[in-house]
């Protein structure tokens, strides 16, 4: 039915993948101008103890869950269902509705979604990439083609190499979280 699938995980799978054209990591988003700064996940516990008990919104099975629980924040977490089966229940709602509306003070979600909804919000927000979690949590995305379409995949890779600056500019325009200073993953 189609010859190309966009935004496929770059890992092996049912389709042959091109070279990745973007990578990102989960992010923490919070409203700015409320008298505190959050630069890493442990700052939530610190602010909650010293200034204001912060309400945290995250999706069930989020990468950040274990760290937040270890920081003693279990009673401050509001869990959201990620895959509800309803098109009106989309991942960006946690920023667009819950965070902007004040139901939660900080939210955790996939970096590109966090960046897009924070950037389009009328409420000023800061997006902090969860680079502290390590490089194992960077996920890369590519285009997928049929395994038999090797020439098509090679052509797409050539185009992406030739247009890498244009692709980078488009991705930058969406304010994806920075992957600078990602912690090394110790295996």
The string of pLDDT tens digits covering residues 75-99 is 999 998 877 777 777 888 889 999 9
The string of pLDDT tens digits covering residues 108-153 is 999 999 999 999 999 999 999 999 989 999 999 999 999 999 999 9
Give the separation between CA 164 and CA 90, rounded to whole angstroms: 30
Q: Confirm whether 39 is domain-assigned.
A: yes
**CATH code where residue 84 lies:** 3.40.190.10
The CB-side HSE value for 53 (13 A sphere, CA atoms) comes to 6
Q: Confirm whether 187 is domain-assigned.
A: no
Give the separation between CA 112 and CA 21, rounded to whole angstroms: 13
Q: Are 174 and 116 in contact (CB under 8 A)?
A: yes
Same domain, yes or no: 17 and 35? no
Give the separation between CA 181 and CA 166, rounded to whole angstroms: 24
Same domain, yes or no: 38 and 84? yes
Same domain, yes or no: 125 and 149? no
Provide the whole-model pTM.
0.87
Instruction: Please say if the pLDDT value at position 164 is more than 90.
Output: yes
Same domain, yes or no: 35 and 124? yes
What's the average model confidence in pLDDT over 53-58?
96
Give the separation between CA 102 and CA 97, rounded to whole angstroms: 8
């Amino acid at each position: 039915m189609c010859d190309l699938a966009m935004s496929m995980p770059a890992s092996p799978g049912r389709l042959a993948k091109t070279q990745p054209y973007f990578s990102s990591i989960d992010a923490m988003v919070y409203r700015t101008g409320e008298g505190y700064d959050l630069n890493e996940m442990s700052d939530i516990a610190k602010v909650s103890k010293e200034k204001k008990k912060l309400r945290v919104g995250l999706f069930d099975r989020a990468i950040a869950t274990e760290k937040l629980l270890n920081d003693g924040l279990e009673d401050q977490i509001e869990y959201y269902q990620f895959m509800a089966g309803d098109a009106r229940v989309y991942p960006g709602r946690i920023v667009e509705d819950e965070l902007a509306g004040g139901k939660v003070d900080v939210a955790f979600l996939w970096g590109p979604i966090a960046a897009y909804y924070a950037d389009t919000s009328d409420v000023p927000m800061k997006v902090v990439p969860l680079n502290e979690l390590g490089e194992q949590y960077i996920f890369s995305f590519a285009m997928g083609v049929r395994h038999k379409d090797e020439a098509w995949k090679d052509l797409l890779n050539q185009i992406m190499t030739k247009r890498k600056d244009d692709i980078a500019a488009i991705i930058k325009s969406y304010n994806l979280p920075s992957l600078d200073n990602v912690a090394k993953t110790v295996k």
